Chain A
């Protein structure tokens, strides 16, 4: 689960970068950038949850 979380962090960053670099119109650029940030947030939640589960299991 932690690996998946880190994968989502990197993927979210890539979406944000792609939105900025490839989209010229302001509205879709903002929408995609926010979506990328959302993916990163999801990744962060997964990483924290997997850490908490590991601590609880020991």
Chain B
């Protein structure tokens, strides 16, 4: 059984509230990126779907998601293997009942997770852009926010078996992810992959010979502006996560800010340089993907790497994301308009692995911190193996589970819009009005046939 977690100091609570208030900016940033990288005739649908996803995710998480995720030290179900406890599911009451909303750690976790689960659910939206029906988006979000996310987040953040790999099996400090590189981004990125597989590519994306056609995003300005919004949101996510899930000293938030920023700018510069070398000019959308990829990669270990380590993580993330976008589109025939699979799944996997390689823990972890409760202070050896077990769980459990659900849903409720609706655009077909009624941007939408 995991020991209980003591209350945060007043400074810690105040800082956590401030950081949690920044997190909606990450959701705003991702929503705008999804809309901007999609086509103009589906822009309003994309933003509308973002609002619906945030709403459905928050309500689902409030009703039963938090009950299954729980928090460190809360009641949970466990089973035993070879004398070791495997904590696999929380058993909190539904509807946030029993939570003390006067600054308790549990209530801060609930508040942060209410937003994080929405960010996770926003990721697949960009990958299904231009062809994913609103009703199917909402049902898919219920599954993500009510099942996949709480289950994996419990294993990582709430004293579950992945967090206890250090205490139980001597694997470093157990699986480590402070800001959600795995729980939010890899889970969201793998969901995006299953959506791209289930829906198939957009009309006209691939020729009969399998050659891809470029379908550029419609607004690079809002995509690049969204990167700045997301940066602020990520500072909130990483800082609040480090305090709540690793019990770091609130003063360490300065290091989290520096590392998050350095990783993002390094990744964006790496992506811009790579596209400049390959195509002759830096590519705006790929640089934006690189920026977000750097933020994602920074999340896993933001409080425990040096600034130089953060730069290395960012540079590799920017290069990896740029390559992954190309590989998914050209070689694997996965149509991912926002690049969400590359940014969140590939960037997140790199971030989680990098945590095992670059993270250096403080000599003495305070005995009152939640991290100490999970086996911190036992040395860094085996940390990379704990990180590998986490990634293996995501690929071997979360991916098949999510794909199975998407196929099942698709059988009873087709998720893809009709060919006529796709040609017309999601705005007119599903909402009845376009995002930019004053501008004729897609001639074929307005031509009499």
Contacts and interface: CB of A to CB of B under 8 A. Distances in A.
Interface of A: 6, 9-14, 16-17, 20-22, 26, 29-30, 33-34, 36-37, 40, 43-44, 48, 51-52, 55-56, 58
B396 A10 contact: yes
Interface residues of B, number: 28
A33 B395 contact: no
B388 interface: yes
B388 A9 contact: no
Interface in B379-406: 382, 385, 388-389, 391-393, 395-397, 399-400, 403
B392 A21 contact: no
A25 to B, nearest CB: 12
B422 to A, nearest CB: 15
Given A29-B385, A56-B210, 19 more contacts: A6-B400, A6-B403, A12-B395, A13-B392, A16-B388, A16-B392, A16-B396, A20-B165, A20-B169, A20-B171, A21-B169, A26-B382, A37-B388, A37-B392, A48-B332, A51-B333, A51-B334, A55-B200, A55-B206
A13 B395 contact: yes
Interface in B197-247: 197, 200-201, 206, 210
A40 B210 contact: no
Contacts of A13: 392-393, 395-397
B395 A9 contact: yes
Q: Which 5 pairs of residues, A with B, have the shortest CB-CB distance?
A: A13-B396, A55-B333, A16-B392, A6-B400, A56-B210
Q: In this complex, which of A13, A30, A51 has the most chain B Cβ atoms within 10 angstroms of its Cβ?
A: A13
Given A22-B82, A30-B385, A56-B333, A12 B392 contact: yes
Contacts of B396: 9-14, 16, 40
A26 to B, nearest CB: 8
B252 interface: no
Contacts of A9: 395-396, 399-400
Contacts of B397: 10, 13
Interface string B4-46: 0000000000000000000000000000000000000000000
B81 interface: yes
Contacts of B334: 48, 51
A12 B393 CA distance: 9
Contacts of A36: 392
A6 B84 CA distance: 29
Contacts of A48: 332, 334
Contacts of B200: 55, 58
A14 to B, nearest CB: 7
Interface in B340-357: none
B333 A52 contact: yes
A21 B210 contact: no
A50 to B, nearest CB: 10
Contacts of A10: 396-397, 400
A8 to B, nearest CB: 9
B386 to A, nearest CB: 9
B333 A21 contact: no
10 contacts: A6-B399, A6-B403, A13-B395, A20-B169, A33-B389, A36-B392, A44-B395, A48-B334, A55-B206, A58-B200
A3 B156 CA distance: 28
Contacts of B81: 21
Q: In this complex, which of A9, A44, A56 has the most chain B Cβ atoms within 10 angstroms of its Cβ?
A: A9
Nearest to A22: B82
A8 B151 CA distance: 22
A51 B331 CA distance: 11
Contacts of B171: 20
Contact of B197 (A16, A29, A51, A56): A51
Q: In this complex, which of A11, A22, A33, A55 has the most chain B Cβ atoms within 10 angstroms of its Cβ?
A: A55
B78 to A, nearest CB: 14
Contacts of A26: 382
A34 B384 CA distance: 11
B190 to A, nearest CB: 11
Contacts of B392: 12-13, 16-17, 33, 36-37, 40
Interface string B168-206: 010100000000000000000000000001001100001
Nearest to B392: A16
Given A9-B400, A13-B395, A37-B388, A21 B84 contact: yes
Contacts of A51: 197, 332-334
A22 B169 CA distance: 10
